[in-house]
Structure 1
Amino acid sequence: MNNPETKKNRRSFILLLFAFILPIVLAKLALEQQWFNYGVTNQGQLVEGELTLENTGINLPSVAEKQWLMLYVMPDNCQDKCDQVLSGVNNTYIALGKEMPRVTPVGLFQQVITPNSLTNIRQQDWQFIKLADTTKQRLQQNHIYIVDPLGNIVVSHVIPENSDAIPAFGKAVVADFKKLLKYSRIG
């Protein structure tokens, strides 16, 4: 009964089963052991709960309405680091390329901005707004927030303490913006 033809058929059948079962077992192990960082497509932190411009008390000029916004909440004392970050945020805005007309950068400040701070940015593209007390309570300093055209604050990015990390930070913001702008039909 054990002729060579039967052994060959069994071996082929076992190899066929192995070829189909092995990928399923490996995939199951990969999910259970968390070998991959799955489900994360954004670089920043998604904002929890309903946070809108209206809730925070930010009143935008009509130029910035119905546009995506890049909100930079500036610190109380805007020193040299603040100037570097402002320049880095401006470079991030410029890196959006053809998507720049869909985005308006907004600086939220508490104290008067010095002219030195504005020398490294394209001032004609920016909107600067004084921070209201309600805004201070809802938004954290040294953060960049991405706001959709409907006024919903969607993603936040923490500005790095180290000035060498600002270019990588800018790339993360650009990646999030480009992904959002690609799939958005508004703004």
Structure 2
Amino acid sequence: MSNARPKPGYKAAQLWIVLLTPLVVILASTLLFYSGWLHPEDTTNKGELISPPLDISALGLEQDDRRWWLLTASTAGCDAVCEEQLYWVQQIHIRLGRESPRVSRSLLTAEPVALSQEFPGLHERQGNLDALPMDEPVQLFVVDPNGNVMMKFNSDNSYEDVLDDINTLLSRSTIG
């Protein structure tokens, strides 16, 4: 048996390593986080997130059904562009399949229009269009079940983009 003793200071060095390791990890992660390095720059959503979300009470509307809304907003009644968008929103709703009961289709205009015959299941609503961040005369918005307008789509978004985003929202959401 040997009576070899550790060198003086060996246990102190071990103690310092054990104590400083968490501190170094915390400092390094804080530095990386606040420097912006290794942050993803791309997102998977195709629509534009509205930040902060807009409460639908600002539009003069009320969330009455606790479902997701595909809200088509039109500043000039419902012209041919609006009707085409409503058709595509109807097709998106059909393509949602078993998830379609979680989503409601709505049209928001300043004055009443009568399209319930052409688009069964469409909820026609009147409200304050000025509160919406609209870039185009006819635009599609997503409203969550809590009554927040949280995403918008422009005319450069395809309807596949809209369907992808809605499917992603529905698959990750536990509300509505």
Measured against the shorter chain, the TM-score band is: 0.5 to 0.7
Structure 1 unaligned residues grouped into runs of 5+ = 1-36, 161-167
The residue identity in structure 1 corresponding to 2:72 is Y
- Compared CA separation, residues 139 and 59, structure 1 to 2 (3 A): farther
| Cα distance in 2 for residues equivalent to 1:147 and 1:87 | 19
Structure 2 unaligned residues grouped into runs of 5+ = 1-39
In the TM superposition, 1:101-116 aligns within 5 A as: 101-115=101-115
Q: CA offsets, 1:70-123, max 9 Å, x none?
A: 1110231422222212111211121111110000111102234245x852x2x1
The residue identity in structure 2 corresponding to 1:130 is Q
- Secondary structure at 1:51 match in 2: strand
Q: TM-score, normalised by structure 1?
A: 0.64
**Which of the numbers 124, 129, 134 marks the counterpart of 2:125?**
129
| Cα distance in 1 for residues equivalent to 2:169 and 2:147 | 14
Q: Which has the higher helix share?
A: 1
- Compared CA separation, residues 75 and 118, structure 1 to 2 (3 A): farther
1:151 aligns with 2:154: no
Identity %: 24
Q: Which has the higher strand share?
A: 2
1:42 aligns with 2:42: no
Q: TM-score, normalised by structure 2?
A: 0.68
- Secondary structure at 1:111 match in 2: coil
Map of 1:85 onto structure 2? 85
1:172 aligns with 2:172: no
- Compared CA separation, residues 152 and 77, structure 1 to 2 (3 A): closer
1:183 aligns with 2:141: no
| Cα distance in 2 for residues equivalent to 1:59 and 1:38 | 35
Aligned residues: 137
In the TM superposition, 1:28-39 aligns within 5 A as: 38-39=41-42
Runs of 4+ in 1 over 3 A off after TM superposition: none
- Compared CA separation, residues 38 and 118, structure 1 to 2 (3 A): farther
Q: CA offsets, 1:118-167, max 9 Å, x none?
A: 52x2x1x22110123xx42334242111111111222110135xxxxxxx
